[in-house]
Chains A and B, each alone.
Chain A
Amino acid sequence: MIKDITFGQYFPAKSIIHRLDPRIKLVLSLMFIIFIFVAQNAVSLAFIGTLTLLFVLISRVPVSLFLKNIKAILFVIILTSVLNALYVTTGNVLLEFWIIKITADGVKRALFMSARIIILIISSSLLTYTTTPTELTDAIERLLKPLRFIGLGEAVHVMAMMITIALRFIPTLIEETDKIMSAQKARGADLESGTLFERIKALIPILVPLLISSVRRAYDLAEAMECRCYNGGSGRQRMKQLKLAGRDYLSLAVLVVCMSAIIAFNIIF
C-alpha cells in the first residue's frame, strides 16, 4: 500500500549512534564529509573507509540497506570512474586503441574517486538511517539559532516549521494522489498511453484537485495552529530540550583525533 512507504530513511535500532544528539551527529557528518575530501592518498582514504565500516557496524543498521543506496547511484560511480580513467593519461599505458588510452594512474584515480563517492554515500546514509527527519529538522533549527543575532531568528524558525509540516503532510498527500488517480481512472482517464503532450495533459485532472485540496488543507491547518496559540517562533518553548551527554563529547573527541590522523597520513605517505 502506498501509504506504508516510510518517508525519509530512518531505521529504528538501539545503538549509540542512534542515541547521539542530532546536532552532534549533523556536525560530525559534515566533518566526516570534509575528511573524505581532505584525504589525499590511498592510506588516509583506507583509514576513513575502515572508520566508516566500523560506524556502520556500531549503528546496527543492516549492511544491505547501505548497499541499496550505493546501487541507486551505481551509474554515477561508473560514469565518474570512466571519465577519470580517460582523463588521466600519465603513467604506464595499460590499454590503447583508437583515441582511448588507459593508464595505471588513470585506473588508480578512478578507483580512488569511486571509493570516495561510496564512502560519502555510506556516511550520509548513516546520518539519515540513525536520525529521524524530525530530529534533523530540530538539529538544523537549533544549530542555526545564532543567526538570530543578525535578525534571521524568525526566518530559521519558519524554515524549520515548513520542513516539519512538509514531513507531516507528504504521506497524506501521497495517499490523496492515489485516491484521486483511482477516481479519475474510474471515469475513464487514460494515464498510461499517448504522446508526451497527451500524457502531460492527462495529469490535469489529478493535479488540479490535488492543488485545491492542498490549499484547503493549508487553510485548515493555519486555523488549527492559530487556535493553538501559534504566534511564530518568538516566545515558543520546546518540550524536548537537547542536552549534550558524555557520549556526545566522546564522539566529538574521537573524530578530532581521526581528523589529526588523516592529516598526518596525508603528510607521511
Chain B
Amino acid sequence: MATLSVENLTYVYGEKSPFQKTAIEDVTFSAKSGEIIGVIGHTGSGKSTLVQHFNGLLKANSGKVLLDGADIWENPKEIRKIRFKIGMVFQYPEYQLFEETVYKDIAFGPTNMGLSAEDINKRVLDTAQMLGITAEMLEKSPFDLSGGEKRRVAIAGVMAMQPEIIVFDEPTAGLDPAGRDIVLEKIKEYRDRTGALVFIVSHSMEDMARVADKLLVMNSGHLSMFDTVKKVFSNPQKLKKIGLNVPQVTKVFSALKEKGIPVDENVFTVNDAVSYLLSFLKGGKNND
C-alpha cells in the first residue's frame, strides 16, 4: 500500500529571470493505492509540471511531496530510489527507446535498480507477456516495430520496474483507436495486478470516463477539483469555464434534460447510456 500526498506545492519556472512564471501554486491532495486518477486541464494548466514533482524530476520552490508520509527529498542523494517506486511514462515514450533489442530496452530500468540477472530476466519476461510483447518481438530492434508496438515496449520499460505509483503523461496521444484501447486496458490491468496507484494525464474525457476512478482538475496552476469522475462530470458548466468538456454522450443527456426529459445526467460512457435508456424506455421511470 502506498500513499502519495502533495502539500502546498508551488513551482515557479525561471525564478528571478525575465521569463518567470508560476506553473503551479499551493496544490494539496492525497491519493492511495489502487486508484486510477485522471489528471485533466487545458495545456499550460500545470498538470504536466505537477506530475513531474511526484518522482522528483522537478523540485518545488515550496511545499512537499510525501510518499507514505516521508518527504521524497528528505535525502536528495536517494532520489533515484524514489524514481524506482514512482514510475513515469512520458508523452510519446517510444521516442526514448535506444537499445539494440526490445528485451534490452525493457531491461534498462530494472538493471539501473541493481537487480540480479535472474530477477531482471523474470521481470522483463513477465512485463512483456502482460503487454502482449511476443518472444519474437523481444529479439527485434525496437525501431522495427509499429507505432503502437513501440508505445507498449516503452510502457513495459517503466512497468518492469514494478513501481507502486505510476504516472502516464498522455499515454494514448497519436495512437489509433485500436492502439488506444490496448494501452488503456493494459494500464488498468497493471493496476489490477499490482494494486498500484495510477495517474493518467489526459485530454480525452471519453478515455477518462472509461478508466479513471477520480479526476484531478488543474486550472492555471491551481487544483480546481479533485473528486470522483461522477462528481466532476456532473459540473459541466465549471468544466466549460476552464476550457474542458464532458464526454459527448454526457452532452446528449444534458440536452435531453434541458428539453424536460427527467433523465439522469450522470452518464459518461456509451454502455451506461444504452443500459440507462433501455431501462428508462421500459420502466418509463428510472431514478437510479
Q: Are A189 and B95 in contact (CB under 8 A)?
A: no
Q: Binary interface profile of B, 1-34, with partner A (CB < 8 Å = 1, else 0)? A: 0000000000001100101010000000000000
- Check if B52 is an interface residue, CB within 8 A of chain A: yes
Known: A187-B108, A187-B161, A189-B112. A182 touches B57 (CB 8 A): yes
**Assembly CA distance A24 to B57 (angstroms):** 48
- What chain B residues lie within 8 Å of A205 (beta carbons)? 96, 98, 108
Binary per-residue interface labels of chain A (131-174) against chain B in the complex, 1 for a CB within 8 Å, 0 otherwise: 00000000000000000000000000000000000000000000
The A-contacting residues of B in range 63-94, CB under 8 angstroms, are 80, 83-84, 87-88, 90, 93
Q: In chain A, what residue has the closest Cβ to B160?
A: A187
Is there a chain A Cβ closer than 8 Å to B109's Cβ?
yes
Known: A1-B14, A4-B17. 7 other contacts (CB 8 A): A1-B13, A183-B88, A186-B87, A189-B112, A205-B96, A208-B98, A213-B95
| Chain A residues touching B, majority SS | helix
Measured CA separation A212–B99 after assembly (Å): 12
Residue with the highest number of chain A CB atoms closer than 10 Å, among B55, B98, B113: B98
- Whether A190 contacts B80 by the Cβ 8 Å rule is yes
**What is the interface of chain B, defined by CB distance below 8 A to chain A?**
13-14, 17, 19, 21, 52, 55, 57, 80, 83-84, 87-88, 90, 93, 95-98, 108-109, 112-113, 143, 157-158, 161
- Report the separation of the CA atoms of residues A187 and B161 in the bound assembly, to the nearest whole angstrom: 8
How many angstroms between the C-alpha atoms of A177 and B200 in the bound complex? Answer: 23
A interface list, Cβ under 8 A from B: 1, 4, 179-180, 182-190, 204-205, 208-209, 212-213
Set A4, A187, A209, A213: member contacting B109, Cβ < 8 A: A187
Instruction: Report chain B residues within 8 Å CB of A182.
Output: 52, 57, 90
| Residues on the A chain within 8 Å of B55, using CB | 186
Are B143 and A212 closer than 8 Å at their CB atoms? yes
- CB contacts (< 8 Å) of B93 on chain A: these are 183
Q: Is the CB of A186 within 8 A of B90?
A: yes
**A186 and B91 alpha carbons, distance in the complex (Å):** 13
Chain B residues positioned under 8 Å from A188 (CB to CB): 80, 83-84, 108-109, 112-113, 161
Do B57 and A185 have beta carbons less than 8 Å apart?
yes
Give the complex CA separation of A4 and B20 in angstroms: 10
Which residue of chain B has the shortest Cβ distance to A185 in the bound complex?
Answer: B57
CA distance A190 to B84 in the complex (A): 12
* A212 / chain B contacts, CB cutoff of 8 Å: 95, 98, 143
Q: Which of A186, A208, A213 contacts B57 (CB 8 A)?
A: A186
Q: Counting chain A CB atoms within 10 Å of each CB, which of B13, B80, B143, B157 scores highest?
A: B80
Contact, CB under 8 Å: B97 / A209: yes
Q: When A and B form their complex, which 6 residue pairs have the shortest distance between CB atoms, in order from nearest?
A: A188-B112, A208-B98, A186-B88, A183-B96, A187-B109, A4-B19
